[in-house]
Structure 1
Amino acid sequence: MRIGFDAKRAFHNTTGLGNYSRDLIRILSEYFSGEEYYLYNTKPKKVDRLDMTKFTERLPEGKFWKKFSSIWRQGAIVNQIKKDNIDLYHGLSGEIPRNLKSKGIKSVVTIHDLIFVRYPKLYSFFDRKIHFNKFKYAAHNADRVIAISEQTKKDIVSFLKVDSSKIDVIYQGCHAVFKQQVSQEQIKQVKEKYNLPDQFIFNVGTIEERKNLLSIVKAIKDIDIVLVVAGRKTNYFDTVQEYIVEHKLENKILFLGGVDLQELATIYQIAKIFIYPSIFEGFGIPIIEALYSKTPVITSKGGVFPEAGGPNSIYVEPYNINELQQEINTLLNNDEKRKEIAEKGYTFVQKFNDEAIANSIMNLYKQIV
């Protein structure tokens, strides 16, 4: 089978959608090496994290489409997909090109979340309209829709008016680096490079309002612990920084930049607790990464979080500072409980292993084709 992928995020995004794209493409090529994989990219790659000996990359043909690659990705790409004799095209980030069906090309689309509908204030009017129209078109015109969680499936049915029978929930996993035990030498190097303390709690994710970093900062104000944060800064960082300065917490919050995957995996494994009080997620990959790292997780109640965190992670109301503070204190002061939660979380997270995901995806492809 020849399978085509929208690879824009795989080659140009280092976080959520990029990680999903790369991991899915990678595990399919590992478990189903007999298939042919074509990666459709808008322009020369910025992110080089795939073994390209396993894939065929396709860029826009002709000067015009190279210059207007965003338009190419929405429609003209179909001519190249047809020329490559692709059996099935997978839109990995909520979009598919127009007119795939008229060219006889089967398709599937992955929808991660509909946060722009649930939390419209986080997006501009035009971004909301553009996202909604693209996602609705893809969901109604693809042969099947993959939702990355039951929560996302419910939202697709509710907001995009898609029949639930057309939607398959296939969870996503995480990069293999988070599943490997790091060495003492790696720990020593990372601690020295980033000047990490012996004990700290950890948060990963874009520093934006929805991720709710400020709640963690407020919760540790009176706790003798350092918070380490790895994530891209947005305007919301200024709000967090203002609180830090106002309460003289500069020595308790450590912001890291330029952390590579191996370093990130190391930091996960040496953190005392991973805290993720996000308001809403389509899934929450950092939770999975922490569980594979055998680090206990405190995250938000409701939504998708119990799907990702399992029955033994700790759940709090994301804006309840006292509750979050209490749970942090409880875990920091109870080594036995931390160890128990970590071990049970590690057992739970095996359901997101690569082989299970690869089989689910390939079985769906074969059903469609």
Structure 2
Amino acid sequence: MKIAFDAKRAYQNATGLGHYSRSLISSLASLYPENDYFLCAPKVTDRYDVDAFPNVLNITPTGFVSKKFKSLWRSNLVKQDLKKIGIDLYHGLSHEIPVGIQETGIRSVVTIHDLIFERNPEQYNKLDVQIYRQKFRYACRNADKIIAISRQTKDDIINFYKIPEEKISICYQSCNPAFATTVSPEEKNRVRKYYDLPENFFLYVGSIIERKNLLNTCKAMHVLKAQLDIPLVVIGEGNDYKKLVKEYISKHQLEKDVIFLSDSYVAKSSATFRSSLDFPAIYQLSQALIYPSFFEGFGIPVLEALWSRTPVITSNTSCLPETGGDAAYYVDPHSPDEIAAAMLRLVNDKKLVEEMKLKGWAHAQNFTAEKCAARVMQVYLRT
């Protein structure tokens, strides 16, 4: 079977959508080598190594119009390339399929990660909400099958877009298998020195946007300032909300307590940071992942932490109890005091930390690359 993917995020996205795309493509290519996999990429970067698998090839824009208007190529004109190659199935890995693909005879699957913009449109630009709604709804209605990455997302697809339940399959995400490998002391020491990381630190991984709730985590750091001398290392990018967070940090003299690692020259210039190759070591060096998001479609940093045997403090909302199972420490994301109390307890309760590591590893076995790829392949074969 010839399977094509929308690979924009695999090559260009450093966070959840990119990790999902890279992990799934690699898992399918290694576990089902009888198929050929084609990555439809408007731009190729070093975030994904296509040469790692002999059965994975790139499809990039050709011709003046496609090269000039790459967004148009990705959303429509790519169909011409798919037909020339004889693609059997196209998988839109992040909410979209090419317009009119249902008229080409090529079967299609779309992954919907979340419908947060439908739940909280006030957090988005009004025009963006309209664009997202049009694209997501079109994909859900016209794809042959839909993959939802959690029960929460499946329920939202049904409720917001009135899609029949039988059209939607829940296929939980996996993450890079590197997180399951215990990093050697030598490698951890190299990573610590390379990024100038503190001896002890909490970790935040994710886009710096309102929904991810870094501000309340910083407020928790302020609550703890007189009790703990353990900084928070932040991996992620942001714009207006990040400015708001930094204003709070400045106002409360937390500059030494919150370290924006992604802003550092070393991180910006490091290929192993952009490709996340150094992330397993960073997770395993940390005291705990702090992830009190208000709402998620899945929350892949939680899974990365569980695989890394790193304790997780996360929210008791949306899909996060699905992802964290009985292994995470759950808090009310609206309460900085509750977040702070959880952080303090994990520092002081070593027995609890060891229990969480064991439970986390056991729960992570529900989200192996093999299980994720197998569920997705079952959807392909039923499409």
Question: Taking structure 1 as the reference length, what is the TM-score of the superposition?
Answer: 0.96
**CA distance in 2 between partners of 1:81 and 1:59 (Å):** 11
2:250 corresponds in structure 1 to 245
1:231 deviates by: 1.0
**CA distance in 2 between partners of 1:34 and 1:95 (Å):** 26
Deviation larger for 107-116 or 259-268: 259-268
The question of 1:299 aligning with 2:300 is answered: no
The question of 1:254 aligning with 2:255 is answered: no
Q: Please state whether the residue corresponding to 2:33 is helix, strand or coil.
A: coil
1:335 corresponds in structure 2 to 350
**CA distance in 2 between partners of 1:194 and 1:75 (Å):** 42
Q: Which amino acid aligns with 1:129?
A: Q
1:159 corresponds in structure 2 to 160
The question of 1:31 aligning with 2:31 is answered: yes
Greater RCO between the two (CA within 8 Å, min separation 6)? Answer: 2
1:47 deviates by: 3.0
1:262 deviates by: 2.9
2:67 corresponds in structure 1 to 66
User: How do 1:269-280 and structure 2 match up within 5 A?
Assistant: 269-280=284-295
1:194 corresponds in structure 2 to 195
- Contact kept in structure 2, 1:202 and 1:228, CA below 8 Å: yes
- Contact kept in structure 2, 1:206 and 1:234, CA below 8 Å: no
Deviation larger for 197-206 or 153-162: 197-206
Q: Which amino acid aligns with 2:322?
A: E
**CA distance in 2 between partners of 1:101 and 1:262 (Å):** 38
Query: 220, 226, 230: which one pairs with 2:235?
Result: 230
Deviation larger for 161-170 or 248-257: 248-257
1:313 deviates by: 0.9
Q: Which amino acid aligns with 2:153?
A: T
- C-alpha distance 299-44 of structure 1, shift in aligned 2 (>3 A): closer
2:21 corresponds in structure 1 to 21
1:321 corresponds in structure 2 to 336
1:98 corresponds in structure 2 to 99
2:270 corresponds in structure 1 to none
Q: Which amino acid aligns with 2:249?
A: I
**CA distance in 1 between partners of 2:332 and 2:191 (Å):** 33
- Contact kept in structure 2, 1:202 and 1:274, CA below 8 Å: yes
**CA distance in 2 between partners of 1:248 and 1:54 (Å):** 53
Name structure 1 gaps, 5 residues minimum.
Answer: none
1:84 corresponds in structure 2 to 85
**CA distance in 1 between partners of 2:220 and 2:68 (Å):** 49
**CA distance in 1 between partners of 2:206 and 2:327 (Å):** 22
1:52 deviates by: 5.5
Q: Please state whether the residue corresponding to 1:262 is helix, strand or coil.
A: coil
User: How do 1:34-49 and structure 2 match up within 5 A?
Assistant: 34-45=34-45, 47-49=47-49
Deviation larger for 283-292 or 254-263: 254-263
**CA distance in 2 between partners of 1:310 and 1:291 (Å):** 10
Deviation larger for 29-38 or 73-82: 73-82
Q: Which amino acid aligns with 1:75?
A: N
1:236 deviates by: 1.3
- C-alpha distance 359-226 of structure 1, shift in aligned 2 (>3 A): same
- C-alpha distance 226-38 of structure 1, shift in aligned 2 (>3 A): same
Q: Please state whether the residue corresponding to 1:254 is helix, strand or coil.
A: strand
1:312 deviates by: 2.6
Percent identity between matched residues is: 44
The question of 1:123 aligning with 2:124 is answered: yes
Q: Which amino acid aligns with 2:70?
A: S
Name structure 2 gaps, 5 residues minimum.
Answer: 268-272
2:136 corresponds in structure 1 to 135
**CA distance in 2 between partners of 1:319 and 1:103 (Å):** 48
The question of 1:344 aligning with 2:359 is answered: yes
2:327 corresponds in structure 1 to 312
- Contact kept in structure 1, 2:172 and 2:372, CA below 8 Å: yes
- C-alpha distance 44-342 of structure 1, shift in aligned 2 (>3 A): closer
Deviation larger for 10-19 or 24-33: 10-19
Q: Which amino acid aligns with 1:22?
A: R
Deviation per CA, 1:199-246: give whole Å up to 9, x if none: 211111111111111111111223312111111132212211122121
**CA distance in 1 between partners of 2:46 and 2:72 (Å):** 20
- Contact kept in structure 1, 2:35 and 2:55, CA below 8 Å: no
**CA distance in 2 between partners of 1:287 and 1:340 (Å):** 16
Q: Which amino acid aligns with 2:246?
A: Q
**CA distance in 1 between partners of 2:59 and 2:49 (Å):** 17
1:358 deviates by: 1.2
1:90 deviates by: 0.6
Deviation per CA, 1:310-368: give whole Å up to 9, x if none: 11311111011121111111111111111111111110011100111111111111111
Deviation per CA, 1:65-94: give whole Å up to 9, x if none: 110121122222212211211111111111
- Contact kept in structure 2, 1:3 and 1:88, CA below 8 Å: yes
- Contact kept in structure 2, 1:5 and 1:40, CA below 8 Å: yes
